[in-house]
Structure 1
């Protein structure tokens, strides 16, 4: 057992692995991470699946069988990914039984539907039904078109991981969409205790974009502000979460059995090598949150991560000062957020294309092998 990761978990941070493969499932690696590294959840995305399918032979038999059945590439992608998520959910089931908010495995709706509310809902329903496990989370992007889909999914009793959140205003809209869904579910007589959600607030990409702008501005103040925006932005997000949790609207839902939509710190692998490789873990410790980490970041924290207790609660004022200073030297943070959301949706779609192309290649090989 890693002492540092256990201490992080004991501080109230749920450690989720941002990776999944059939190899991790079948070799017992995922189960080992639960036992030894305090891992209590898993997040996936199309890029992760593309890497797993390209690198592993463990998918070959299923691909061959689906090709023989005449399935098209979209169906093969759906079958391969839901199979992995279903099996990962089974591995995480004991964690989920003990702590229902955790033991979760996330799977994304089709990214091409990021700007299509109805399409997103259809994809969410299909994934929810196919995985058919109480501990799955359906990832829905926090685009304008994604917001009504979040409400609709929650209203139907589907647990969601809202992804691609970069700014505070959009985060407030996400929280509002979740509460609206819970209210509809309650009015329809659903058991609110069975509905769970996390809001994935992206971290490192904020520093990447802001630092690029600071670099072009130049000067001492710009240099001093590098690497500060992402953590400050996440801390402001937590302050917004605290406001919602303190509201009368939330209290009514909580009394009806609702679970809070926990903040999840996503994109916590450090992109700038000049920064500590545990920056976005150490600086975002606060009870009742999730940190989903690439294995490299998890290993770094296990080796040398520092824990200074809750470093987020009550830091909203200090975090706002960072943005005041950024504005003073000419960083337009609203524009930063627009760029990040557009880039995020683009990356989301490109990673899906990469996954489809990878699976197409595997299907072609399987077809040739069967001749």
Structure 2
């Protein structure tokens, strides 16, 4: 019997794991998920690293060396995270090679405190690309207004990019424009476009969390009947925008030079509302040439009881638009929703980064 994760892969959805840790790497846990759970990529973020540093002794030896060298806390964090990402990239290298570079990817995020600083984001992206030094790396850059030109600049230098923190359809279109512009500049700079890859991380569950909170506050029968519809409608219309952009003449000119489309990546796919099916943001977002990066709990739930019935995105656009229109009619300001989510996302990652810095500082002090 074909497993749900295999069905997902067969439907064109790349299964990525939204987690990494030194313990998962040294125990062979990531390799097992690649072999047994169809995992073909890994994403990370500051929250994931902060959690990893707080558990076990996997980082002790490196922390000891860093303490003896008396490096700064910022440099210690960069060294620790780059080590894990480099190791993860090596584990996934066979996937990368077998698939022509499309998957087998590992993502590392720029310091989230730079989310509103274009030039420093570009400089950090260059530094991380050099430091990890693996062809299957992706540098995560947030889709803030200030992040958009940094995305273009990084791609123009041949750096593969995972664009993160996308919540709105308008911003997603701006991200795709930044991507296409980056590849056009990369071509002019003499880079091989076939070696530059990108994904656009469109966040899902957080949209429902914010919208449903507002619907509950409105409290009408109409409003309550719209709960848990916003995120899927938003994501499905994002895929419609993807189809439109990557079918145009401007894009076709780049395809002739080896360019590959920036795939939509469904992020934040673990359900926040326990009343919802735990595989909702997997089974209802099946479409060709997409990525779904899952927390391990969602990955295992999908493997256990996910019902994959083919494409659940194309053909839903009219209904998705109707759902968003109904939300607006019920009094939900979607423009405000996505602004709040972006601002909160930046702040949450900054907080996690500060927690990571504090944790590393404490560990370095113990070693000195």
Classify the TM-score, shorter chain: over 0.9
Over 3 Å counting, the alpha-carbon distance change for 1:66 and 1:2 in structure 2 is farther
Distance 2:351 2:102 in 1: 31
Deviations 1:203-237 (A, max 9, x none): 00000000001001112211111000000000000
Give runs of aligned pairs for residues 321-360 of structure 1, distance below 5 A: 321-360=322-361
Q: CA deviation at 1:2?
A: 7.9
User: Counterpart in 2 of 1:297?
Assistant: 298
Distance 1:235 1:140 in 2: 23
Distance 1:286 1:365 in 2: 49
Q: CA deviation at 1:162?
A: 0.1
Give runs of aligned pairs for residues 275-286 of structure 1, distance below 5 A: 275-286=276-287
Deviations 1:164-203 (A, max 9, x none): 0000000000000000000001111110000000000000
User: Counterpart in 2 of 1:43?
Assistant: 43
TM-score, normalised by the number of residues in structure 2? 0.98
Distance 1:194 1:79 in 2: 26
State which drifts further: 44-53 or 130-139.
Answer: 44-53
Q: Are residue 243 (structure 1) and residue 249 (structure 2) matched? A: no
User: Counterpart in 2 of 1:222?
Assistant: 223
Deviations 1:301-336 (A, max 9, x none): 111111110010132211100011011111111111
User: Counterpart in 2 of 1:312?
Assistant: 313
Q: CA deviation at 1:56?
A: 2.2
Give unpaired runs (5+ residues) of structure 2.
none
SS in 1 for 2:16: strand
Distance 1:311 1:264 in 2: 15
Runs of 4+ in structure 1 deviating by more than 2 angstroms, as ranges, are none
Contact 1:50 1:355 in 2 (8 A): yes
Distance 1:257 1:83 in 2: 31
User: Counterpart in 1 of 2:13?
Assistant: 13
TM-score, normalised by the number of residues in structure 1? 0.98
User: Counterpart in 1 of 2:274?
Assistant: 273
Give runs of aligned pairs for residues 199-210 of structure 1, distance below 5 A: 199-210=200-211
Q: CA deviation at 1:58?
A: 1.3
Alignment RMSD = 1.0
Distance 1:243 1:201 in 2: 17
Distance 1:330 1:69 in 2: 57
Distance 2:366 2:316 in 1: 55
Distance 1:220 1:281 in 2: 28
Distance 1:8 1:232 in 2: 20
Give runs of aligned pairs for residues 1-371 of structure 1, distance below 5 A: 3-99=3-99, 100-367=101-368
Contact 1:114 1:143 in 2 (8 A): yes
Distance 2:18 2:322 in 1: 31
SS in 1 for 2:138: strand
Give unpaired runs (5+ residues) of structure 1.
none
Deviations 1:272-291 (A, max 9, x none): 00100000001000111000
Distance 1:3 1:331 in 2: 39
Q: CA deviation at 1:244?
A: 0.4
Distance 1:164 1:115 in 2: 13
State which drifts further: 112-121 or 351-360.
Answer: 351-360
Distance 2:367 2:20 in 1: 23
Distance 2:330 2:89 in 1: 48
State which drifts further: 87-96 or 309-318.
Answer: 309-318
Contact 1:203 1:267 in 2 (8 A): yes
Distance 2:91 2:325 in 1: 46
